[in-house]
Amino acid sequence: MQGKRKAPAAPRRVLVIDIGGAHVKFRVGMHGPIAKFASGPTMAPAGMTHRILRLTRATPYDCVSIGYPGLVFRDRVAAEPHNLGKGWTGFDFARALGKPVRIINDAAMQAIGSYSGGRMLFLGLGTGLGATLIIDGVVEPTEIGHMPFRRGRSFEDWVGERGRKRLGNREWRAAVNEVVAALQAAFETDYIVLGGGNARRLKKLPPRARLGDNRNAFIGGLRLWQRGAAALPAAAAGARPRRRR
């Protein structure tokens, strides 16, 4: 009788890169220091990877996970980003970094690191609005942020950084509550995780929402190499949270 087949162990040294509209953050492994540098509307992938190589010269890694702020399909960037420079579509990250690479939407990567079972919607309140739905361990990145919401503006225009600057913090918080309520009703979520740099600006969390942690993106990046981008580790897809009605 054949013994049970063991799941392959995750590589020991995963370089996780979290690309944002304001900063690029990266870390090697579970306990390495988190480093960052500025990104912005002119940053192109060649310049970013060159800087990553320079900054990790003394820190070896076996493979790479990248959280990209835009549409990704089968480990390839499928559309140019809204808040960075050009040249991302078709860029060969594996060749540039010299290691195997897995790419996923940045909100999806943080969502994977935040997931604890059931039906979860992750909303990344940052430069834009990242949104990922996870249902019983199945990950579905979305482009909700760019869909129309109200008065001819998108969800991102209301709760992203541009919206916060336009509305001021008080009205922006009210807009976040409204968006969360609308998406909870639309997706029938058990809970919502609010991450991204602006989540800390919320004075009170909406019902059935909890605050995320940007460091969860690095956990998500490690999980990509444990079971791949299509599913979560079994430990993370365990007991379903109790549903509130």
Class of domain 14-109+216-227: alpha beta
Q: Could you give the CA distance from residue 24 to residue 36 in angstroms, rounded to a whole number?
A: 5
What is the rounded average pLDDT of the residues 134-163? 91
**What's this model's pTM, rounded to 2 decimal places?**
0.80
For residue 31, name the pLDDT band (cuts at 50, 70, 90): confident
Tell me which DSSP letter residue 144 carries: G
What is the rounded average pLDDT of the residues 120-125? 94
Cα–Cα distances (Å) from 212 to 45, 53, 64, 137, 189, in that order, read 27, 29, 23, 18, 16
Residue 147 makes CB contacts below 8 A (sequence gap 6+) with: 154, 155
49-78 pLDDT per residue, tens:
999 999 999 999 999 999 998 889 888 999
CATH superfamily of 116-211: ATPase, nucleotide binding domain (3.30.420.40)
What is the rounded average pLDDT of the residues 15-34? 93
Crossing angle (nearest 10°) for helices 216-227 and 106-114: 90
219-228 pLDDT per residue, tens:
999 999 985 4
- Collapsing DSSP to helix, strand or coil, 228 comes out as coil
Instruction: Determine the pLDDT at residue 135.
Output: 94
The tokens of 5 are what?
């087949």
Portion of the chain with pLDDT greater than 90, in percent: 69
For residue 236, name the pLDDT band (cuts at 50, 70, 90): very low
Q: Where are the domains of the chain?
A: 14-109+216-227, 116-211
Instruction: Determine the pLDDT at residue 242.
Output: 39
For residue 7, name the pLDDT band (cuts at 50, 70, 90): very low
For residue 232, name the pLDDT band (cuts at 50, 70, 90): low
Instruction: Determine the pLDDT at residue 227.
Output: 58
- Do 116-211 and 14-109+216-227 fall under one CATH topology? yes
Instruction: Determine the pLDDT at residue 11.
Output: 58
